[in-house]
Structure formats: structure tokens, C-alpha cells
Structure 1
Amino acid sequence: MTRGNKRLVLFDLDGVIVDSRKNMEVSWSAVRATYDIDIEFESYFRHIGRPFLDIMEKLGLEKDGENIHRIYNVVSSSRLDLIEEFPGISEVIRELRKNKLVVGLVTSKDKERTLEIVRKLDLLFDVIDCPEKGQRGKPNPDPLMRAMLQCQKDPADTIYIGDMQVDYEATARAGVDYMHANWGYGECDAKTKKLDSSGEILKALLG
């Protein structure tokens, strides 16, 4: 990857900026208890990276998806204490902005909870894209395309940092370069830049 040729750096949230697994597990446990669902957390968790209602469809729960989402969100918002920032990521974001790069967040999490987490961590982004009702989410390229359009940047100017295969698939379809956070929740089959620590982001982009 050529250093210094990127102008827009987009991050995934869960598994890249924050470790929210405990929060997800508690929230899914509440869903299971409320709706008597016999689907283990790991079955839900393997689909992380997609919009919530898309995951419900994958699990055969689309009929009650909206209601399940409401319960999940209430519990998730009440247990933000279970969400922790990955080491050094705030400093990386601040350093990128200090070097005049545009920094954004592209996540499949709904906007309300995303903003709660961003405020909790006191992070500043130039663009935040979350799926709205009726919009396609990852692995479709639409979220990345919306973020680039809002920032007036081309795919060649842009890089996305994710942690799931669907993140890579979205970048491939959007024509955007990708770096994979190995500290996250999933693996990536593609031959792409793998990151073992947040500090490697600065080395890759700033030299």
C-alpha cells in the first residue's frame, strides 16, 4: 500500500474501535429470555457486521425482527459500561485528523447507539454512516459510497478498516482499499493488509 495517498480513512465500530462483545452477549441473553428463543449467542455473533434486521433474517427471526431489535437496543444502551475502547485507537484517530486526513465511521449499528458510544469515548468523526430503514448494509457497498459522497472523496482516496469478511466484501464492491484489524472478531480470507495493533494504522498511512 502506498503511504500518503489516502485522504479518507473509514473505520468500522464494533471489533475495531470498541470491544462490545460483552454488551452484545448480555443484550442477546435478554432477547432470548423475552422471546424464548433457542438460538445461542455464538450463532448471532457470527453474523456481526451486517445490519441487525439482516441478521434476524439469517437466523429465521425476521417476523419478530423489529420487536427483537427494540429489546436488544434497550438493554444494550443500559449497559454501555460493558463496552471498552481497544488500546490506542483514540490516539490513532486524533493523529490522523491532526495530519489533515478526513476520518469517518461506517457501521451496521443503529445511529442512536452509535452516537451514545461515540459520546462516551469522546471521539470526533467527520462523517458517521449507520443504516437507515430501507437502506442496504454491508456487504453491499452502499454505506461506503454514502460516506465517500458526503466527504466528496473518490474510492482511490479512501481506505476502510474492518474486522469481518463482510467488511472486506463491501470494500471490494465499492472499489476501496481495505485493512483488516486482527484484534477484532472475525477473519478475512482475502490477501489484504492485516493489522496486529492500532499503531500499525499510522505506520501504514503516515509512514
Structure 2
Amino acid sequence: MDTPTPAAPRTLVCRAVLFDMDGTLVDSTPVVEQIWSEFALRYGLDYAEILRTSHGVQAIDTVRRFAPAGSDVLALTAELDAMERVRTEGIVPLPGASELLHILPDDAVALVTSADRILADLRMDAAGLTMPAAAVTADVITRGKPHPEGYLRAAELLGVQPADALVFEDAPAGIAAALAAGIRTVAVGPHTGQLPDGVLHLNDYSSVRATVETDIDGSRIISLRL
């Protein structure tokens, strides 16, 4: 898959920053691919098609789509969850992710992930990243990405309007969710697919620079030079 061409540097201004986790803050790709490979082999599933379509969506939605007819989807998902929770070797942060999170105000950051809270905590910890106080995980919403519920919930938790937030996402389903929520979106990494108009792309955060200021009304303003 071709990696999108990086956009020219520009500055985006917002009041809150919302991050996806896998592929966006945390590089867990080798672990995820290994687990899905084993799972697909065990149940005779189409591994290549799973990888093509599973990025950024909840595991249960992928299992439901590919499981053999008559399967116990909840049991298979629980089995997959158990596999994921014991595989953390090789999980690392994306370059610059830790530094960016350190600069951003704690109460202006949220995580919005298709992982449940247990897995999110495990992977963020494995990557050496601090879990934001505001985290919208798969177990606290009813509709996963590409539905916008998660991102709308995160904006509400942070007390900002969607138009005042900025999302970093790595997968087509997550990008679609963020845009459906009315939130400006920056795509990260090599798995973004064809980008909608107006969506910038970054390889990682190594060149991102953030400043935090206060406007004339006393409200905080975050400027991100990409």
C-alpha cells in the first residue's frame, strides 16, 4: 500500500486533542497481525481480508463479520481478547508520541479506541505512555467506529464542541468516525487508505510542535505545527 504524501507544514489551532490508540499512539502492528493470523488459521478464516478490513474497528465487529455461520460470536471474541491481553512484547510508541502527550494539558486530551479498557491500559503501559484521564474505550460505547459515537463522547467529556477539537487517527474506519463527528482530522501512519479532502497526513509525531496559550477570554488555545 502506498503511503500518502506528507502535506506541507501548517499550524492547526484547537482546544482539545483526541487520539486513537493502535497505529496512532502505539505501534502494535506486529502483535495484532500475529494474533489475527493465529486466530484465522484456527478457524479457517480469510486472514488477508481480515487484515485489510479490521484496522480501527472493534474486535467483535470483525469476528461477527468473518466467523463461520452459527458461531458463538461472544465466545470467539472473548477468546481473541484473552490472546491480546497476554501479548505486549514489541509494542512501542510512535516516534514523538510521548513528547507530544507530555506537552498537551491533561484535561485537553482524550483517547478514543476500539480496544476495551483492559487492553488499552495494557498497550499504553507497554509503550510507556500515560493513559489520558479521559478515555473512551469499546466497553463504554454502543456503536464502534466508523460510527462517530466515541469521538462525540470524548469531546463531551472534555467540554469542547467538535469543531474546536482535533483528531489523530490511523485507519479508514477511525477517520470516517472522526469526520462524521464533525472533528478536523489528521491521518497518521501507513494504513490510512485514500484520504478524504482536507485530511492531512503524518508519518509520526517526530516533527510535530505544540504550544499552549490563553486567548483574550481566558480560554486555552493549543497550536500544533505539523
- Unaligned ranges ≥5, structure 2: 1-8, 211-221
Q: Assess, with a 3 A threshold, how the Cα gap between structure 1 residues 30 and 95 changes in structure 2: closer, same or farther.
A: same
Contact preservation (8 Å) 1:102, 1:126: no
**CA displacement, residues 52-100 of structure 1 (integer Å, 9 cap, x when unaligned):** 1111233255733222222222222212013222222111111223xx7
State yes or no: 1:173 paired with 2:191. Answer: no
State yes or no: 1:205 paired with 2:223. Answer: yes
> Runs in 1 of length 4+ with deviation above 4 angstroms?
1-4
Q: Pick one of 93, 115, 120 that aligns with 1:85.
A: 93
State yes or no: 1:28 paired with 2:36. Answer: yes
**Larger Cα-atom Rg:** 2
Q: Assess, with a 3 A threshold, how the Cα gap between structure 1 residues 161 and 61 changes in structure 2: closer, same or farther.
A: farther
State yes or no: 1:45 paired with 2:51. Answer: yes
Contact preservation (8 Å) 2:155, 2:161: yes
What is the DSSP-based 3-state SS (H/G/I as helix, E as strand, rest coil) of the residue aligned with 2:138? Answer: coil
Q: Pick one of 130, 144, 161 that aligns with 1:154.
A: 161
Paired residue type of 1:113: L
What is the DSSP-based 3-state SS (H/G/I as helix, E as strand, rest coil) of the residue aligned with 2:167? Answer: strand
Paired residue type of 1:29: S
Contact preservation (8 Å) 2:114, 2:145: yes
Match of 1:12 in 2: 20
Separation (CA, whole Å) in 2 of partners of 1:205 and 1:45: 35
Deviation, 1:134, is 6.8
Paired residue type of 1:11: F
Separation (CA, whole Å) in 2 of partners of 1:174 and 1:149: 11
Q: Pick one of 110, 118, 129 that aligns with 2:124.
A: 118
- More displaced 10-residue stretch of structure 1: 57-66 or 86-95: 57-66
Match of 1:103 in 2: 109
Contact preservation (8 Å) 1:127, 1:150: yes
Deviation, 1:147, is 0.7
- Unaligned ranges ≥5, structure 1: none
Separation (CA, whole Å) in 2 of partners of 1:134 and 1:93: 24
Separation (CA, whole Å) in 2 of partners of 1:28 and 1:65: 15
Q: TM-score, normalised by structure 2?
A: 0.79
Paired residue type of 2:125: R
Deviation, 1:13, is 0.7
Contact preservation (8 Å) 1:160, 1:171: yes
Paired residue type of 1:19: D
Among all aligned residue pairs of Structure 1 and Structure 2, give the percentage whose two residues are the same amino acid. 23
- Count of residue correspondences: 202
Deviation, 1:200, is 4.0
Paired residue type of 2:124: V
